[in-house]
């Protein structure tokens, strides 16, 4: 029997790196591998980002038309409230305790730095719910 040398067990994998475009959240590996059967394999998943960003809101020119004070606020709680109101397009979180819903984004709000939407959500401190006259806007699922 022939002696196996150390380098005999080394193989070459053909692959490339792939990423999701900036509008999509990325989960999984960026590696795209060519398998021995000729098919390509990856576990990369790209999903549309729901968080549209942090925006300026004002008492005289609200961005979303329906608002509600929630004792426990967060993405899931606010989206559920909006769905109960049969408003299915946008929802927003502001100042920790306010939930907004809307079918349109109104009054051309100014985009603000994400750091200005860093108030912890009321009763749900691991999430952020906008800021002082700053609203985090999300697309409903």
Q: Tell me: the pLDDT tens digits for 36-81? A: 787 878 888 877 768 999 999 999 999 999 999 999 999 999 999 9
Rounded Cα distance, 54 and 107, in Å = 15
**Residue pair 108/63 in contact by the 8 Å Cβ criterion:** no
Residue 9 pLDDT level (bands cut at 50, 70, 90)? very low
* Planar angle of CA 19, 21, 22, nearest 5 degrees: 120
pTM for this prediction: 0.68
């Amino acid at each position: 029997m022939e002696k196996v040398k150390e380098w005999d067990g080394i193989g070459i994998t053909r692959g490339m790196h792939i990423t999701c475009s900036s509008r999509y959240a990325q989960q999984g590996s960026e590696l795209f591998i060519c398998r021995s059967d000729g098919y390509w394999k990856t576990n990369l998943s790209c999903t549309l980002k729901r968080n549209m960003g942090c925006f300026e809101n004002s008492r005289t020119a609200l961005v979303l038309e329906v608002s509600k004070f929630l004792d426990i606020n967060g993405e899931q709680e606010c989206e559920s409230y909006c769905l109960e109101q049969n408003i299915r397009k946008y929802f927003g979180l502001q100042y920790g305790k306010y939930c907004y819903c809307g079918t349109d984004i109104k009054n051309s709000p100014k985009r603000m730095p994400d750091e200005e939407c860093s108030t912890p959500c009321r009763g749900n401190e691991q999430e952020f719910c906008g800021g002082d006259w700053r609203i985090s806007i999300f697309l409903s699922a």
